Amino acid sequence: MVTNEKPARAKLPPFYRAGLWRFGLVAARILPVGLVKGIAVALADFYWLLQRRRCEAVVRNFLPVFAGDRTAAEKAARAAHRKFAAKLVDLWRVEGGETIRNWLTNPGELEIIHAARRRGCGTLFITLHLGNWEHGGLLLNQLGIRLTILTQAEPDDGLTELRKAARARYGVDTLIIGEDSFAFVEVIKQLQAGADLAVSLDRPPDRGGVPVEFFGHAFEASLAAAELARASGCALIGVTIVRRPDGYAVKVLPEFSYDRRALGNREARRELTQQILRAFEPEIRKDVDQWYQFTPIWPKDE
């Protein structure tokens, strides 16, 4: 249930500020991409050395993926910081107006999207903080689909507006969840009208989560996708976009099927959420060093 209270904002790294974001946009536009990425990766290495407490949270987030192997988790966490720095440069280039053409797609998987949309019941794209997930709106725009991203406000209000404006320039709308009590109703109306929306499910909600199993560990999951499916009857499609040396690899999961009537039961909504997260586990394992989880995601007693 959405209230008129603004959700608590996570304490994220300092580059999530409007001023620094604008600096990154300018640098990515006027300097050679290799130079900008080199500087960004070097800064990520310094961050790894100087912010050990913050980086330890990432290591802990990765431990369940590696069955408790701390050495593997530390290696992946350090690589994730470096790849995230390069990912920011990719994002700044897109938000600065660069058009991406080097998509690595599977026509059969793209047909999953087209088939769901032909039913006209609205489509909810489910993604993770994996790879270059923000690029999904750009890809869909190039396929003739206008996406609306459901997200919380950024830690900096100026950055929220900056990013909304950037998305709008390349044909993607933004709906900030938590700004007012009508947000959830607006989302349902858009889906019922056949709109295409996107939501991320791999971080615990501030409230209203349900217990599921994720990589064999207890995880507090958001019911957002299941709730919206119950309320609107929309199609649920999982998508990931990860960086490869030759482009952006797009993976479209088989559509998640459900009995809308059964979703009136909270346990059925929990089971659907469990099904969705379990389907994403292999995708995370393949590219865990592109799974950008910089705040704790597991219960404190884990």
Structural domain includes residue 275 = yes
Degrees, nearest 5: CA angle 153-124-102: 85
Beta bridge pairs of residue 60: none
Structural domain includes residue 3 = no
Structural domain includes residue 296 = no
For residue 205, which phi and psi values (nearest 5 degrees)?
Answer: -75, 160
Structural domain includes residue 299 = no
| Tens-binned pLDDT, residue by residue, of the chain (302 aa) | 333 333 344 455 555 677 888 899 999 999 999 999 999 999 999 999 999 899 999 999 999 999 999 999 999 999 999 999 999 999 999 999 888 999 999 999 999 999 999 999 999 999 999 999 999 999 999 999 999 999 887 777 788 888 999 999 989 999 988 655 567 888 999 999 999 999 999 999 888 789 999 999 999 999 999 999 999 999 999 999 999 999 999 999 999 999 999 999 999 999 999 999 999 999 999 999 999 999 999 987 55
Q: What is the pLDDT of residues 82-134, one digit of tens each?
A: 999 999 999 999 999 888 999 999 999 999 999 999 999 999 999 999 999 99
Q: Where are the beta strands (DSSP E) in 58-129?
A: 103-104, 123-127
Cα(155)–Cα(91) distance, rounded to whole angstroms?
18
Q: What is the dihedral of CA 59, 154, 243, 238, to 10 degrees?
A: 90
Domain that holds residue 44: 18-290
Structural domain includes residue 65 = yes
Beta bridge pairs of residue 238: 126
Structural domain includes residue 256 = yes
- State whether the Cα torsion 58-60-61-65 is positive or negative: positive
Structural domain includes residue 297 = no
Query: Any idea which residue has 């270059």 for tokens?
Result: 132
> Total domain count for the chain?
1
Structural domain includes residue 41 = yes
pLDDT number for residue 9: 43
DSSP category for residue 300: T
